[in-house]
Amino acid sequence: MILIAIGANLPGVNGEQADETCRKAAEAVRKIEGLVVRALSPWYRTAAWPDPTQPAYCNGMIRAEGNMPPEVLLKQLQKIETDFGRSRSVANAPRTLDLDIIDLNGLVRAVPDPVLPHPRAHQRAFVLRPILDVAPGWRHPVLRQSVATLLAELPPQEIQPWADDEG
C-alpha cells in the first residue's frame, strides 16, 4: 500500500482555491505510470502548523498500489508540485501544493529523498485522519501502532471536513 498526502493553502497558478488544486493534483497522481489509485479521502480543512497565521490548508490522502522505487515516485510527485506552481523556500512555508509519500509498501528507510515512513506523519492529524478514511487498518511501519491509536493519542489539532463553499 502506498499512501500519498495532498495539501495546499495558497491559490493555484490559475487562481483556483486550495481544494480545487488538491482535486486536480489527485487527478495528476492518477496518471503516474505504474501507480494505481485505489481510494481518495474526503478533504479536510486544517490550521497551518506551526504557524497558524498562515491560511488554512486543504488536506487529503490517496491510497494506491505499485512497486516503483521511492526515488522514482518522489520525482514524479515533485514534478506535479512544480507543475502546480510549488516553489521551495523555507520549511513550513505556505504552498500551492504539497505531495508527500507517507508510506510506500511498509518500506522503512532513513536515507533521505525520501525518508520512509514520513518522519512526522504520526504527529499530524491532517495526515492521520485522512488515512483513517482510506486505510483504516494501516499500522505505522516503525511504531507498529494503528492509525486509530495514533490519532487518538495526538494532542488536540484543528481539523474539520472541508465545506464546498470554503475558500
Q: What is the mean pLDDT of residues 130-153?
A: 98
Nearest Cα to 96, choosing from 39, 58, 145?
58
- pLDDT of 105 reads 97
Sign of CA dihedral 28, 34, 35, 38: positive
Over the stretch 75-109, which tens digit does the pLDDT of each residue have? 999 999 999 988 766 666 688 999 999 999 999 99
- pLDDT of 48 reads 86
Structural domains present in the chain: 2-161 (3.30.70.560)
- pLDDT of 164 reads 66
Q: What b/e readout covers 61-84, taking b as 16+ CB neighbours within 10 angstroms? A: bbbbebebebeebbebbeebbeeb
Q: What is the mean pLDDT of residues 131-154?
A: 98
Contact 56, 9 (CB under 8 A): yes
CA-to-CA separations, 45 to 12, 38, 41, 147, 148, in angstroms, rounded:
17, 23, 13, 19, 19
